[in-house]
Amino acid sequence: MQNSIPKVALVTGSAKRLGRAIAEDLAAHGFAVALHANGSLEAAEAVAAGLRSEGKKAIALKADLGNISETASLIARTEAEFGTVGLLVNNASVFEDDTAVDFDAEIFARHFDVHVRAPAILSGALVKALPEDRSGLIVNIIDQRVLSLKPSFFSYTLSKSTMWTATRTLAQAFAPRVRVNAIGPGPTLISERQRPEDFQAQIDSLPLKRGPSLDEFGRTIRFLFDTPSITGQMIALDGGQHLIWNGTEINE
């Protein structure tokens, strides 16, 4: 059923950075793409308009992933424009600093809303809407740290680890028609809280002395799309970061 996956994609959190790169790559390879955003809707609309000006199929959709009804509407809204969604990329992310000692219920809830509840809602909606003669692919953008746990960024780490568990559980639940896989990024783009020298130190600490380039993510998703025997797996695009054994944490 591999060739029956519709080339219609919904990419959450795709106005900027990694999500934008994924959406642009998919659009360049024949996918109709819905770019989801919330606070960055204007940026997502600009990206979608740019893709349309190049003859590609793209729209921008606004939804607060902390709102259940708004989240649940995204698959149907994408289908209203492009038809059956065959590819869901759960890329939207929250990255707030907290600790296990100073527990903050609001930070905890925000992370689990975006990293766990929203992907579960969207994944179920994709499967329910999928015609019997079509198959699908879900790709969750997680983090390599789930393979090498550290206690920093407590809610982020815990929710991403739950997302990794959900990837395997959903792969079991949705087989054989829908495959569920994940990508675990390492240091790719400098974060707002990093100094350039800290980001470079992080890169220098990697076994491969380089992190992933943005184009690797779209290529990896397309590899998963074209490889029908893979489900329940996570590919770490991290320069080998998950192999580091000394527990050193570079400033993020």
In this prediction, residue 187 has a pLDDT band, given cuts at 50, 70 and 90, of confident
18 found inside a domain: yes
| Contact present, 21 and 217 (Cβ < 8 Å) | yes
Quickly list H helices, 142-205: 154-174, 196-204
Tens digit of pLDDT for each residue in 115-125?
A: 999 999 999 99
pLDDT tens, residue by residue, 10-60? 999 999 999 999 999 999 999 999 999 999 999 999 999 999 999 999 999
User: Quick check: is 250 in a domain?
Assistant: no
Tokens of 136: 């699908």
Structurally, how many domains does the chain consist of? 1
173 within domain boundaries? yes
Residues forming beta bridges with residue 62, ordered by sequence position: 37
pLDDT tens for 147-168 read 988 899 999 999 999 999 999 9
* Structural domain contains residue 248: no
Q: For position 146, what pLDDT does the model report?
A: 94
In a domain, 249, yes or no: no
Cα 31 to Cα 71, 84, 86, 185, distances in angstroms: 22, 12, 10, 23
Among 3, 2, 8, 5, residue whose Cα is nearest residue 83:
8
Is the pLDDT assigned to residue 250 strictly greater than 80?
no
pLDDT of res. 177: 97
Q: pTM for the full model? A: 0.93
Q: Which residue has the tokens 């998963």?
A: 224
Among the residue ranges 75-84, 89-98, 144-153, 168-177, the one predicted with the least confidence is: 144-153
Q: State in Å, rounded, how far the first CA of the chain is from the last one.
A: 42
Q: What is the mean pLDDT of residues 179-186?
A: 96
Strand ranges (E), 102-149: 136-141
Nearest-5° angle of CA 71, CA 74, CA 75?
A: 125
Tens of pLDDT, residues 88-122:
999 999 999 999 999 999 999 999 999 999 999 99
CATH number at residue 109: 3.40.50.720
- Residue 41 domain flag: yes
Domain span including residue 32: 2-243
Residue 2: pLDDT over 70: no
Long-range Cβ pairs for the range 119-122 (8 Å, 24+): 119/90, 119/163, 119/166, 120/166, 120/170, 121/68, 121/71, 121/72, 122/10, 122/12, 122/71, 122/72, 122/74, 122/75, 122/88, 122/90
Q: Residue 228: what pLDDT? A: 98
CB count within 10 Å of CB 97 equals 13
Whether the CB-CB separation of 237 and 185 falls below 8 Å is answered with yes
Minimal CA–CA distance to 22: which of 119, 140, 135, 134?
140
Q: What is the pLDDT of residues 192-245, one digit of tens each?
A: 778 888 889 888 889 999 889 999 999 999 999 999 999 999 999 988 889 987
**Residue 79: both structure tokens together:** 């289908």
In this prediction, residue 252 carries a pLDDT of 52
- CA 64, 224, 133, 58 torsion-angle sign: positive
Each residue of 205-219: pLDDT tens digit? Answer: 899 998 899 999 999
Joined together, the tokens standing for residue 61 give 């959709």
pLDDT of residue 3: 58
Q: Would you say residue 251 has pLDDT above 50? A: no
